[in-house]
Structure 1
Amino acid sequence: MRDLFKISILLLIYILFSAKSCSDSELKESRHEELVMATRDSIINKLDTEFLSEETFFLAQKSAEQKLLDLADFLNIYYQSNLDTTFKKQTARMILDIFINEDAEVMLGKNTRNNKVLTVKQLLESDFGSDCIKSTFHFDSLSLSETLTRRNGKTYFGALNFKQSFIAYKSMDTLIIEPFNSTADFYLTKVQKYFGAEMLEIWEVKIGNIKSVRN
């Protein structure tokens, strides 16, 4: 936790000092540039070394768990029958941003099409839940099933176990899918982000395939 706090402070300092005043003298500008570069080097050093500690892997796991919980919340919003179109599109973007890419395969409730699991993109474009007044997804009992291991220089892979349940409220009846075991892949991968005027590579957690594990 201390490493993440240090990095946050360094990023804040870097952004603040990157926005220099136009009235700076040449001496102040020189010192300013030296400080910016020194702070940038500190950030890169943290990201490339300390940030890949066991503590970091634990934080990545917790981030993945939170993303799954966020996914359930976003799906509950997305599948409201009276949701404004603009808000629905924004929610769809937030759902897509949780995943490693739009082709990640997702098993939620009974969202199969001809016994094939839908991708995230297909799920959001399908008529899944269109006959419901309201749909409620619930994820709980999250735990680590596969520790993070390196796939390549910029990607680590892990997996979570969890239980998911689903309730669909229709005009005439209610569909209830009892809790069942599921797995979710997750990735710790490097992405490019802007900090001030600088483009840096930082580590980010993304969700991969979600599958059911029916007994």
Structure 2
Amino acid sequence: MKKIITVFTLAAAFISCESSSSCTKDQETCKKDEAKQEVTSDETLVGNINAFEENLAAFNSCKQTTTGKGKCKEYIAKAVCEYYGIEDLKDGSNYVDYDKIPKKLKELESWENIGNFDEENINTALEKLNNFGKPVLIFNEDASYVHVVALKPNGKSVKSGKWGNISVPACISYFPRRKDSFTEKGLNYAFKSADDLTIWTKK
């Protein structure tokens, strides 16, 4: 006995529905509002990202071609201002000399002192630097010779045995007297000790 298999073809009908848009009344205005909400990486970049390297080259050139005391003292302030697109470290049209930066920071309401150099304060400074794009400056207090450095954004931190095994962040350092200035080495290359260091950051 033969089995007769009957195949029924079923036709499915699909009804497409148009999705409603909240921008139907004023497409141009709506698109502009949506565009404002989009945050791109370009919007977070302010200033010149090569400022530290360019100013180091200019600083070294200045030391070779300029004679006398008090020469080439404005380059760390210039580099910080250009990198972050700020004018905090300027007096009029001139950049502040490095040895006058501590006094300048204390006069600015837009900057704050985080405290002495220790693990907790360094972590706070690095959070402001890397997560919020705030410049961080470190200098030595109670010394006849003042030196100011800027922390390197997204730089590496290494533990220093001489500094109590604390994590030492990378910094930018322009030495007026030494010949080994750099744009990314540990803070312990810029200072002999962490004892009298203080940390400042833009609010």
TM-score normalised over the length of structure 2: 0.26
User: Which of the two has greater strand per residue?
Assistant: 1
Whose helix fraction is larger, Structure 1's or Structure 2's? 1
Larger gyration radius, structure 1 or structure 2: 2
